[in-house]
Amino acid sequence: MEEARIRTPLGTATLRGDESGVCSISVSDGHLEQEVVPEVLAQACIQLQEYFRGERQRFDFPIRPEGTPFQQRVWQELRKVPYGHTLSYLELTKKLGDVKAIRAVASANGRNPLWIVIPCHRIIGSDGSMTGYAGGIHRKKWLLNHESPTPQQSLFGSGTDQAVGKHTF
């Protein structure tokens, strides 16, 4: 299993995967980037940088998230939520065919191993609220604002408005 770390406006993204695909992408505070990225992760790193620069809305590098069959179904449905759009947990459960499974769907959403690529940040409360997000609500808000056709202006700096750096591969 190979690993790469790149800087993003929201912290350090850690990517893990091999020749069969990327199995996890997570984010944390700090700046522990690598100058040399393993070849099997290079395309994923490039596409994430393009996303943060506003040049990419879909990802097409190979992925292989590990999870139960139910989690896989939820993650497949999450990938259908278009860039710049949101869906409520209730709407998501309806698409999956079982509104009673809302807690299980929320749990699968929270176990998403591929930050941004499987866009769990696009799932919100039925009332439009920013419900739980493993990466932190501040990151969820930033991502939704980034994807919005008319981004909200902030009166106060969030500390996450910096430009994405360039990396040597």
Residues 10-57 have pLDDT tens digits of 999 999 999 999 999 999 987 776 778 999 999 999 999 999 999 999
pLDDT, tens digit (0-9, with 9 covering 90-100), for 80-118:
999 999 999 999 999 999 989 999 999 999 999 999 999
Query: What is the pLDDT, as a whole number, of residue 153?
Result: 53
> Quick check: is 120 catalytic?
yes
Q: What is the CATH number assigned to the segment(s) 69-147?
A: 1.10.10.10
Question: Which residue among 22, 37, 120, 143 is the active-site one?
Answer: 120
Residue pair 24/16 in contact by the 8 Å Cβ criterion: yes
Query: What is the pLDDT, as a whole number, of residue 152?
Result: 57
Amino acid in the structure at residue 128: G
pTM of the full structure: 0.84
Which runs of consecutive H residues, i.e. helices, occur in the chain? 39-52, 69-78, 89-96, 102-110, 137-147
Amino acid in the structure at residue 10: L
Listing DSSP states for 24-35 in one string gives: EEEEESS----S
**Cα–Cα distance, 140 to 46 (Å, whole number):** 21
Give the number of residues written for the chain. 169
Where do the domains of the chain lie? 2-52, 69-147
